[in-house]
Structure 1
Amino acid sequence: MTFKTEADSGVADRDEWSYAPAVGVGPLRFGMTVDEVVEAAQVLGQTQVSDCARDHAIFSPTWKIEVRRGAAPSPPAVTAYVSQAVGLFCIAADAVHGPQVGYDGISLVGRDLSELESDAIAHAEAVDGHFRYTPEGYAGPDDPGVVMRGQLVGQVLRSRPLFMVTRDGANTEWDSMPSEEYRHGQSTT
């Protein structure tokens, strides 16, 4: 398997965060409150908390916490979503500014989606395992807690993984995805 380096992707200075299924990513743990997420995210930089639109009545009120690297205004490196009912349930790593997170040796953040698909297939064949496609057609690890998303960077779709657990009123992580993340795939960076 070949992986593009951060320099090849136009991304430098990425932190490396670990992912533990159903536990969390880096310093963020599923179930945390807004205040706990803000405190834990200080390792990256400044945070901004805002209310999420309540697009679905089955979900309790939700907050979006954008974490920016350093003190200067910049795009969010990580966006965390906290539900009143279940706490932190979704962590999105920005394709350009987010920390690098791997899954069983496969880098997930900021990758060209076609290369990530090739690596996921090769990995599954090597370990006699599986990989998954999202309903949008993005390939990723065979883990229900990882939902691969595309983020347009220039003219290339890069990977923007969401690390998730189900939230109140949802059956799957895909059902739990914040509406802001549906819209995010249409933006450019």
Structure 2
Amino acid sequence: MAFKTGVAERDEWSYSPSVGVGPLRFGMTVDEVVEAAEMLGQTKVSECAPDHAIFSPTWKVEVHRRGVAPSLPAVTAYVSQVAGLFCIAVDAVHGPQVAYDGLPLVGRDLSELESDAIAYAEAMDVPFRYTPEGYEGPDDSGVVMRGQPVGQVLRSRPLFMVTRDGANTEWDSMPSEEYGVTETMPR
């Protein structure tokens, strides 16, 4: 099944907390991530700069959609030497659509997502949370909502995570490459 946006048709991937997203499973090796991601497109593997001494070497696997003009990766997977795959970042424009209990999380106008998250939380009598940057999302320790500028709108770019070696929370685990993503991704 595909999700339609104004730009292109997108795949729909499922999210299972602590398990993975779509064909990607937490704990996978770099080679396993590359093999699993082949269904979406071409991959590029690079080593991440060491950001904290407590973390083992980490690789970034960028997955670019087939048939799309040169663009930012649809999915970026981060793989630690010790923990394996620990973070899956989904691009707001080119990434697959991923929902949390029926609530679409990818490529949403952040103000609309906030309204929907509040309505969902009230209807289901469950909490939602804000990130330190003010982005809302499900109150699941495996989802960190990020903002990505797309034209004049800030769209949702979720990170699906488990903690990596030497970290206590997903915030501690977040790859340094994802910190400045909102400032470095003009569209």
* Bigger fraction of residues in strand: 2
1:85 Cα deviation from its structure 2 partner: 0.7
Matched, 1:155 2:152: yes
Q: Specify the SS of the correspondent of 1:22.
A: coil
The one of 173, 181, 184 equivalent to 2:181 is 184
How many percent identity over aligned positions? 80
Query: Aligned equivalents of 1:104 and 1:66: distance in 2?
Result: 26
The one of 122, 126, 143 equivalent to 1:146 is 143
1:1-189 matched pairs, under 5 angstroms: 6-7=4-5, 10-70=6-66, 73-186=70-183, 187-189=185-187
Q: Specify the SS of the correspondent of 2:10.
A: coil
Q: TM-score, normalised by structure 2?
A: 0.95
After superposition, the C-alpha distances for 1:123-174 in whole angstroms (9 at most, x for unaligned) are 0000111101111110001100000000011111100000000001111011
Q: TM-score, normalised by structure 1?
A: 0.94
What root-mean-square deviation, in Å, do the aligned CA atoms of Structure 1 and Structure 2 show? 1.2
Q: What letter matches 1:35 in structure 2?
A: D
Q: Specify the SS of the correspondent of 2:38.
A: helix
Query: Aligned equivalents of 1:121 and 1:50: distance in 2?
Result: 38
Q: Where does the alignment leave 5 or more consecutive residues of structure 2 unmatched?
A: none
Q: What letter matches 1:188 in structure 2?
A: P
Query: Aligned equivalents of 2:65 and 2:149: distance in 1?
Result: 20
Q: Where does the alignment leave 5 or more consecutive residues of structure 1 unmatched?
A: none
Aligned length: 183
Q: What letter matches 2:128 in structure 1?
A: F
